[in-house]
């Protein structure tokens, strides 16, 4: 009888211990952790705030709507204003006033410096006219930047399409290091940079906006190979929207 009482007592003690261990766990040990950064006292990386780019559009030089141009692989004009382009807050035109180099050191009209002088109007004396056939210009941003958009105004005094428009960026002026092609509408590789997948487009006062997707680079190079009116190459302005690489 005494032995039975001892056994029952021992069993009771074990039950009490198990009961205590199960129901006396720390309250937060059963909480599902959904953000481990909060546990260690850190905060997750924040996404940059995106705002519309403040692109100043020059006044149009012609009032007529979209015009048919006999050029293959031509992008259809919408006839509507371009939607706002979103970029990280603080993004600005980092090409303004920067040095420009060209394959044509003696332009037929204007000076190379005019390509980044901020004047986007199509009035006479506001554009640079380079020689015929394939030519390119290179803009030195003076430091590596995250580039979000490039806007090109070749010539918007009339409806016109420029051939073999290729836009590249790189870390060096010889375009050997970290070269990226952002746009290429050369449909037959006549520029020798590969067959492009982009379409020809008609010049307008809005310029051609190219999404650079934040690529890092210091130099921006733009090619062209005449246009549907003549063999010459023109630039009114080129804007590069970005922020310095930290």
By the 8 A CB rule, do 132 and 226 touch?
Answer: yes
Q: What pLDDT score does 42 carry?
A: 37
Note whether residue 105 is domain-resident: yes
Dist CA 147 CA 170 (whole Å):
11
Does one domain contain both 32 and 75?
Answer: no
CA separation for the pair 221, 106 (Å, rounded): 18
Of 242, 216, 210, 212, which Cα lies nearest the Cα of 95? 242
User: Do residue 108 and residue 30 come from a single domain?
Assistant: no
Q: For residue 181, which of 144, 213, 139, 225 has the smallest C-alpha distance?
A: 213
* Residue 67 confidence (pLDDT): 63
Indicate if 135 and 234 belong to the same structural domain.
Answer: yes
Greatest alpha-carbon pair distance for the chain in Å reads: 120
Q: Is residue 73 included in any domain, yes or no? A: yes
Is residue 146 included in any domain, yes or no? yes
Could you tell me if 171 and 132 lie in one domain?
yes
pLDDT number for residue 64: 55
Assess whether 101 and 223 both reside in one domain: yes
Nearest to 222 by CA among 141, 154, 146: 154
Q: Specify the pLDDT at position 19.
A: 47
CA distance 85 to 88: 10
| Structural domain boundaries, residue 7 | 2-36
Same domain, yes or no, for 30 and 69?
Answer: no
**Domain at 204, CATH number:** 2.60.120.260
The whole-number pLDDT of residue 12 equals: 52
Q: Which residues contact 141 (CB under 8 A, 6 or more apart)?
A: 94, 95, 98, 217, 218, 219, 220, 240, 242
The 3-class secondary structure across 56-115, one letter per residue, is: CCCCCCCCCCCCCCCCCCECCCCCCCCCCCEEECCCEECCCCCCEEECCCCCCECCHHHH
Sequential pLDDT tens for the chain (246 residues): 444 444 445 555 554 444 444 444 443 433 333 333 333 333 445 788 999 999 999 999 875 555 668 899 999 988 899 999 999 999 999 999 999 999 998 999 999 999 999 999 998 889 999 999 999 999 999 999 999 999 999 999 988 999 999 999 999 999 999 999 999 999 999 999 999 999 999 999 999 999 999 999 999 999 999 999 999 999 999 999 999 998
> Could you tell me the pTM of the whole model?
0.80
Residue with tokens 């599902």: 32
Report the domain count for the chain.
Answer: 2
| Together in a domain, 9 and 108 | no
């Amino acid at each position: 009888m005494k032995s039975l009482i001892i056994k029952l007592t021992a069993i009771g003690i074990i039950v009490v211990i198990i009961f205590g261990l199960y129901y006396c766990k720390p309250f937060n040990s059963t909480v599902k952790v959904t953000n481990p950064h909060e546990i260690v006292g850190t905060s997750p990386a924040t996404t940059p705030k995106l705002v519309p780019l403040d692109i100043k559009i020059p006044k149009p030089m012609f009032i007529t709507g979209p015009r048919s141009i006999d050029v293959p692989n031509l992008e259809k004009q919408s006839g509507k204003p371009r939607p706002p382009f979103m970029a990280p807050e603080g993004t600005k035109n980092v090409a303004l006033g920067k040095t420009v180099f060209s394959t044509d050191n003696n332009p037929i009209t204007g000076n190379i410096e005019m390509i980044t002088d901020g004047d986007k109007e199509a009035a006479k004396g506001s554009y640079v006219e380079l020689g015929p056939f394939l030519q390119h210009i290179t803009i030195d941003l003076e430091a590596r930047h995250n580039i979000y958009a490039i806007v090109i105004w070749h010539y918007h005094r009339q409806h016109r399409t420029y051939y073999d428009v290729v836009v590249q960026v790189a870390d060096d002026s010889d375009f050997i290091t970290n070269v990226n092609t952002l746009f290429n509408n050369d449909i037959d590789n006549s520029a020798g940079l590969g067959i492009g997948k982009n379409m020809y487009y008609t010049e307008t006062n809005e310029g051609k906006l190219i999404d650079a997707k934040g690529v890092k680079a210091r130099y921006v190079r733009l090619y062209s190979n005449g246009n549907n009116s003549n063999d010459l190459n023109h630039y009114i302005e080129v804007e590069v929207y970005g922020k310095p690489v930290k």
